[in-house]
Amino acid sequence: MSRRPARTPFTGLVVGAYAASPAHRRWDPAAEEEFFEQLAQIPDVGAFELPWLGSIHPHDDAWLHRHFPTALGAVVTDIPYTMGRIAGDPGYGLASVEEGGRERAVADVGRVRDGVRGLDDAQGRRVVGVVELHSAPRGVRGASDALAKSLTEIAGWDWDGAELVIEHCDAWREGQIPEKGFLSLDEELDAIERSGADLGVSLNWGRSVIEGRTPATAVAHARASAGRGLLRGFMASGAAATPTDFGPAWIDAHLPFAPEPGLAHTTPGSLMTTSDVRDVLRAAGPLAWAGVKVGCAREDAPVAERVALVQEAVAVMMRLRAAA
């Protein structure tokens, strides 16, 4: 299906900053400010991905309003909040076949919209270029028709210029323990098309690989969504088939690239090679945006080490995009 050409919501790469933040779990405003300032100085960084956990900042909205880098844009993802909600409310989600669960999720997306506008208003500009939504709940509790219904409603709201995407996460597969376990990519693409809404999808390398247990799944997802004209964005974020310093196998822990010559900040056991990411970029074709989301396994790592980790991933991604 032919859709409108993807427009670029900001210049430069998106960095999933919270994955490597020194102050994401335990709030430290000084460390977060230093981290933000140094990340913003990395060439080719155009936006931060911000996690929605019930508010636009995990700890202090007013702090973010004051300290968000003035030259950068933002992508807002509601996956942390969604996972927290389904833990206690298994029928919750935009794709829920339980009408009450679907309505609760739609109402919460309304809160995301308000948070987006609040950040834009505080900065006096359009900061948020993209909002990533998700097709919870897990397994048979979710359906494409229910997601289409939610998207039709949500897309009719005023998003202050931000584009909406469904970020694909690992789909439910019988006999496989899921990390997310949401709808399949085909079901999400079908829902977007049936909704008639002006939305697309975004992909995350690790989440696709967790689903298929092979890097080939990330390429297949890029080819399928691009082939239907719905692929907007892509994030390079690793996963592992064996335990690593980040934890057990097949968890969504945002591993850095696998070890290879010329890279200093890598993770033994990571499946994400530079050639794998290049293959996805080639299958994807033109993208509205792309980025990296890599975490830091050392809880006590200083800000400088975390920034160096991100800086290397950004440089790699820029080279891969140029070569794709």
The pLDDT, as a whole number, for residue 7 is 59
Mean pLDDT for the stretch of residues 172-186: 95
Mean pLDDT for the stretch of residues 228-245: 98
CA 195 from chain center: how many Å?
22
Is there a contact between 33 and 60 (Cβ–Cβ < 8 Å)?
no
Percent of the chain with pLDDT over 70: 98
CA 183 from chain center: how many Å?
16
Condensed to tens digits (0 to 9), the pLDDT of residues 140-161 reads 999 999 999 999 999 999 999 9
The pLDDT, as a whole number, for residue 181 is 97
Condensed to tens digits (0 to 9), the pLDDT of residues 203-218 reads 999 999 999 999 999 9
Tokens of 186: 């085909």
Condensed to tens digits (0 to 9), the pLDDT of residues 264-304 reads 999 999 999 999 999 999 999 999 999 999 999 999 999 99
The pLDDT, as a whole number, for residue 234 is 98
The pLDDT, as a whole number, for residue 25 is 84
Is there a contact between 24 and 58 (Cβ–Cβ < 8 Å)?
yes
Helix H, strand E, coil C: the string for 210-277 is HHHCCCHHHHHHHHHHHHCCCEEEEEECECECCCECCECCCCCCCECCCCCCCCCCCCCCECCCHHHH
Percent of the chain with pLDDT over 90: 95
In the chain, the domains with their CATH numbers are: 13-323 (3.20.20.150)
Mean pLDDT for the stretch of residues 179-184: 97
The CA-to-CA distance between both ends of the chain, in Å, stands at 24
pTM, to two decimals: 0.95
- Decide if pLDDT at 6 tops 50: no
More confident residue, 97 or 10: 97
Can you tell me whether residue 203 is helix, strand or coil?
strand
**Mean confidence (pLDDT) of the chain:** 95
Q: How far apart are CA 127 and CA 106, in angstroms?
A: 23
The pLDDT, as a whole number, for residue 11 is 86
